[in-house]
Amino acid sequence: MRSCIGVVYLTALLALQLDAATSLQVPTGDADVLYAGRENRAQARQAAEIWRARLASDPRDFDAAWKRARALYWLGGLGADADRRRDLEAGIASARAAVAIDESRPEGHFWLAANMGALAESFGLRQGIRYRTPIREALERARAIDPAFGQGSPDRALGRWYFMVPRLFGGSNDKAEAHLQRALAYNTESTATLFFLAELYLETGRTAEGRAMLQRVLDAPVDPEWAPEDRQFKGRAARLLAR
């Protein structure tokens, strides 16, 4: 088992070193503060670069590894396809480095799944098939370590997995709802969880429940820590309700 972890770590480290070689200028600033302002894409990019530089300087810097993976996941939802693919693939490498540094923490596993999931959703069936099982396994590992992580984020993402994956490949609307309801117990006003439940209900013909969930998204307060994401989900809910 240790030899396998070592191979994963060296592979992820090599990917990060190659990525680091593309930028010789080390940025400065408080990466956490910059990331808090991530709706400005330049700030999110600068934060990711600071964490990249920290990890290149100290390959055992766990926080730099998973926080960079998180920033690249955010950036992977923006911009042109080529840039988004590059960011998400770099996010996968950074998350794998975090898992190799400390596999007993949930952050690396979760952001590994998140980056793989975004890549799978955005770039076609081939990517979806490639990452389908690794995504579920990483989320189950994060959930086993700490089901409360990120206000129930492992269950929220597992609910999304079971909703998005075709039944032939393991998807299940019943399992999706069960995981999303578990996630909702950690934060009853989570815009992400409420929106995913709304989509599930609308997809399965439970229109009144779906509309009620969308209204709850709009009524939910904005969480200062997740304000950019909350605003995104509120916008999506408003557009879906209008239809």
Which pTM does this prediction carry?
0.86
Q: Which residue has the tokens 């400065």?
A: 28
DSSP state string for the chain: -HHHHHHHHHHHHHHHHHHHTT--SPP-S-HHHHHHTTTSHHHHHHHHHHHHHHHHH-TT-HHHHHHHHHHHHHHTTSS-HHHHHHHHHHHHHHHHHHHHH-TTSHHHHHHHHHHHHHHHHHSHHHHHHHHHHHHHHHHHHHHHH-TTHHHHHHHHHHHHHHHHS-GGGT--HHHHHHHHHHHHHH-TT-HHHHHHHHHHHHHTT-HHHHHHHHHHHHHSPPPGGGHHHHHHHHHHHHHHHH-
The residue-averaged pLDDT of 39-62 equals 97
- Is 93:15 a contact under the CB 8 Å cutoff? yes
Average pLDDT taken over every residue of the chain = 89
Cα 38 from chain centroid?
A: 15
Give 141-144 contacts, CB < 8 A, sequence gap 24+.
141/106, 141/109, 142/106, 142/109, 142/110, 142/113, 143/106
Distance CA 72, CA 217 (A): 25
pLDDT of residue 26: 54
pLDDT of residue 11: 45
> Mind listing the pLDDT tens digit for each residue in 188-233?
999 999 999 999 999 999 999 999 999 999 999 999 999 999 999 9
Distance CA 243, CA 237 (A): 10
Q: How confident is the model at residue 29 (pLDDT cuts 50, 70, 90)?
A: confident
Of the candidates 31, 20, 18, which has an alpha carbon nearest to the alpha carbon of residue 66? 31
Torsion of CA 142, 143, 144, 150, to 10 degrees: 80
Structural domains of the chain, with CATH: 2-172 (1.25.40.10), 188-243 (no CATH)
Q: Does position 1 have pLDDT exceeding 70, yes or no?
A: no
The residue-averaged pLDDT of 113-119 equals 95
